[in-house]
Structure 1
Amino acid sequence: MSQEFVLETRGLTKEFRGFTAVDSVDLQVTEGHIHALIGPNGAGKTTVFNLLTKYLPVTRGDILYRGKSIVSMKSNEIARLGLVRSFQISAVFPHMTVLENVRVALQRPMGNSFHFWKHEKVLNQLNDRAMELLESVGLGEYADNVTVELPYGRKRALELATTLAMEPTVMLLDEPTQGMGHEDVDRVVELIRKAAKGRTVLMVEHNLSVVSKLCDKITVLARGAVLAEGDYATVSANPKVREAYMGSEHAEVQGAH
């Protein structure tokens, strides 16, 4: 039985004044999988994310969601389909409480996103669901804290909760463990694993030990093109991948076994 690709690109290309940042990328993301997009700095990973979420227009190629082209859609239309980019779309409001942040995210699908003037009783109807989401990412006890007071790792957990509030079918996670210490990284890995149940995740990630623990499939980009693809064992043993990750990142490929 052929596996269904929930998200697919065909010949995806982005050029900036003669420079090809993304070069004919064919990406196939299987429903229910955690799929990583990795590669050295400048490989084109973030540009691919920007094309998928229509932050940038595509030069050539196609993007398909459940087999239908979405290349001409706007970013808000793509988000409504269920493709939600975390840690960008769901940036938190620092001077609101943790609970209020999730409540605002819950209003988005209702079309009430910015009705901050709504009566408190109306907003309180969302509190139970907001608390459920906070409990799911280990933030229940922080519900009344002002967000700016949270340590960095817990802010990232809150961003994950606000993303989940938008009921995504495909979560696009842009370097979810960037800048974290080991303890926070381990916590976020577990949160992503939980959040991925019943969903599809496509993530850009530099930390290869995170990729090795989480991902079903890995696509390696180099100079804007696909260099290698497969599970972690296959990709990490590929001599071209090792060469692309020369220096400290090369050591990380070897060290993440």
Structure 2
Amino acid sequence: MSATATSPASAAVLETRGLTKSFRGFTAVDDVDLSVQEGHIHALIGPNGAGKTTVFNLLTKFLPPTRGEILYRGKPITSLKANQIARLGLVRSFQISAVFAHMTALENVRVALQLRLGTSFHFWKSEKTLDHLNERAMALLDEVGLSEYADTLTVEMPYGRKRALEVATTLALDPVMLLLDEPTQGMGAEDVDRIVALIKRVSKGRTVLMVEHNLSVVSRLCDRITVLARGAVLAEGDYASVSNDPRVREAYMGSAENDAEKARASA
């Protein structure tokens, strides 16, 4: 469990009430009530097509809901735009690494810091004008274990390190709440372990909501888990209760077993 776990009575940072998204008659998110508690690491899990990423897109206003309400610290934010959501401290890290490939790790973090300060990126200015950001940028790189990569072009960094750099650029925006979309997707075991340790470290004093397929990662990190199936909430609780729920086994773990059985049959 997370070292940041709080009591059950802790306040909700983010809530949804009846959150629904339909696309031309298809309901991708169906009447979802979600409550993410202060200081928790909370996971959204479910089989492919369960609606997890669509929920993320609704929360961060990349999609408008068909109906329902989103609240941040008890106040409605449903009508806000994506940039306004980010300014409140809800910052999303994407499934695919979203950093500038031909800039160094240090330069990437400096760009994020400029955004946080409300200034333009100043790509055309002398590098000396950005030197005042170097100390904070280096501190962020150190926080995610990337000090030795400060002067390395991002394109030359291993995949797991790129994802860590993305976390550093997210932290540069001084988030209250981190929304992580598949943070370990496509990683080998060594990189997964490194990212799990990183999430534990950066979650201190923050709240995290993450979409994650790797149940081992979920079991090691998360205080609470919401299981989605066909766009609706199927179950919710800690890892022990959720993993032992027969409905979850059927919808989530059972789907993996069925895929494996099909693979064996076709071999």
TM-score, normalised with respect to structure 1 = 0.95
CA contact (8 A) 2:141 2:165 kept: yes
Q: Which amino acid aligns with 1:142?
A: Y
Aligned match of 1:83 = 90
Greater shift, 163-172 or 86-95, is seen at 86-95
User: Shift of residue 109 of structure 1?
Assistant: 1.4
Moved more, 129-138 or 34-43: 129-138
Shift of 1:88: 6.2
Instruction: Find the aligned partners of 2:127 and 2:258 in 1 and give their Cα distance.
Output: 53
The answer as to 2:51 corresponding to 1:44 is: yes
Query: 1: distance between equivalents of 2:23 and 2:255?
Result: 28
Q: Encode CA deviations 1:57-79: one digit per residue, 9 max, x unaligned.
A: 11000000000000000000000
Partner of 1:159: 166
Tell whether 2:74 aligns with 1:67. Answer: yes
What's 2:191 paired with? 184
Is the counterpart of residue 31 in structure 1 residue 43 in structure 2? no
Task: Confirm or deny: 8 A CA contact 1:220 1:227 kept in the other structure.
Answer: yes
User: What are the ranges of 5 or more consecutive residues in structure 1 without an aligned counterpart?
Assistant: 253-257
TM-score calculated relative to the size of structure 2:
0.91
Structure 2, unpaired ranges of 5+? 1-7, 261-267
Task: Identify if the C-alpha distance between structure 1 residues 106 and 240 changes in structure 2 by more than 3 Å, giving closer, same or farther.
Answer: same
SS in 1 for 2:128: helix
Is the 8 Å Cα contact of residues 87 and 160 (structure 1) preserved in structure 2?
no
Contact 2:97–2:162 (CA<8 Å) still a contact in 1?
no
After TM superposition, give the deviation of residue 108 of structure 1 in Å.
0.6
Q: Does 1:19 align with 2:26?
A: yes
Counterpart in the other structure of 1:148: 155
Q: Matched residue pairs, number?
A: 252
Deviations 1:38-90 (A, max 9, x none): 00000000000000000001100000000000000000000000000013697
Contact 1:11 1:61 in 2 (8 A): yes
* 1:123 equivalent in alignment to 2:130: yes
Residue 199 of structure 1 aligns to which amino acid in structure 2? Answer: R
| Map of 1:102 onto structure 2 | 109
Corresponding residue number in structure 1 for 2:145: 138
Percent of residue pairs bearing the same amino acid type: 76
Letter in 2 for 1:150: M
